[in-house]
A and B are shown apart, each in its own frame.
Chain A
Amino acid sequence: MSSDATKAIWTRVFSLVEMLSRWIVGGVFLYAGGQKILDPDGFAKIIYGYGILPGGWVNITAIVLPWVECIAGGALVIGVWPASSSGVISGLLSFFMVAIIYNIMRGYTFDCGCFGGSGEPSGWGTVVRDIALFIPGAMILLFRGKRYLCVYTGGE
C-alpha cells in the first residue's frame, strides 16, 4: 500500500474518532445539564455542599451552569462551533476536577451532583470519569482535520 493511501485512511479514522467524541462528550453534557435544569433547587444544595463558592454565588451558579453544559453539549452533538464548545466543556471539566480533588483532599465526600442529585458520592472515580471526558474534549478542541456531520463547517 502506498504511503499516501495509508495516510488517507488515517485521516478518515481521525475524523471518525473526532465525530464520535463529539457525540459522546456532547451527549453526556446534554444529559447532565438537562437533569440539573429540572431540579435547580437540588443542584443548589449540592453546590453549597461542595463548600467552595460563597453563598451569594450558589443560586446563580445552579441556574446558569446547567445551561452552559446543555448548550455546549448540544452544539457539539449537532456540530456547531465544535472547537469552541469543546473548549467550554474542557474548561468546565477542569473546574470540576479541581473542585472534586480539593474536596477529596480535605476529606469531603459529598454527593457529586454530576448528573443532578443522584446520591452518587464524589471520589477518585469521579475524577477518572472527568479525565476520560477531558481527553476527547481536548482532542475536539485541537483537531484541525475534516469534521464529519457538522452543521457549521468552519470548525472553530
Chain B
Amino acid sequence: MKYMGRVVIRMALLVVGAVGVALIWNAFSPWGIPLKGQWDERVGVVTPTPSDESAGRILQTVEAAHLLWEEGAVFLDARYPSSYAQSHIKGAVSFSVYDFDTLFFDFMDRYPPETPFVIYCSGRLCDESHRLAEMLTQEGYTSLRVFADGIPAWVAMGLPVEGEEGE
C-alpha cells in the first residue's frame, strides 16, 4: 500500500511538472497559442487563436454575405480548385489559398487593392478563407470580408450556386 501511495504521488508530480513545462514552452514557442480560444459557434468562426483585428472582417450571417453579393462584391473561393469545380457561389472566383504564390500575380493585375472582396470556404471549421484574407491583407488589399458560414449555409438558404454538381 505504501508503494502504491508513492506511485500516486509521483504520478501527480509528473502531471504537475508537465503542466509547468507546457505553460513555459507555450509562452516562448513560436507555435504557442492563447490559453483560451474562440470555440463558441454562435460568436463566430471557431479558432484557437482569435485576434481582434481579424474579427471585424467576419460576416456572421448569410444575409450579410448575400447583401454584399447583390452589391457586386467579388466572391473568392479559397478552397481547392477541385472543390470550386464541383460547386461554388454563383459568380465566385477560384483563388485557392494553396496556390497563392502562382495565382497572385494575375490576381494583382486584375483587381486593384480597394476592390471589395468576400472570401469563403466550407463553413466555420475551415480556415482557408481566414488564411487567404490574412495573405491578401499583407499584400495591401483593404476591403476584405470573410463569409464565416461559407458555401454550406449559402446552399441551405437556396441561394444561387454553379458548378459540376448543377444548380
Contacts and interface: CB of A to CB of B under 8 A. Distances in A.
Contact of A41 (B7, B33, B35, B125): B33
B105 interface: no
Interface residues of B, number: 31
B37 A55 contact: yes
Nearest to B27: A63
Contacts, number: 96
B55 interface: no
A156 B31 contact: no
Interface of A is mostly: helix
B10 A41 contact: no
A45 B48 contact: yes
Interface of A: 37-41, 44-45, 48-49, 55-56, 58-60, 62-64, 66-68, 70-72, 75, 81, 83-85, 87-88, 91, 141, 155-156
Interface of B: 3, 6-8, 10-11, 13-15, 17-19, 21-23, 25-26, 31-40, 46, 48-49, 125
8 contacts: A40-B26, A49-B125, A55-B37, A55-B38, A59-B34, A64-B18, A91-B11, A141-B7
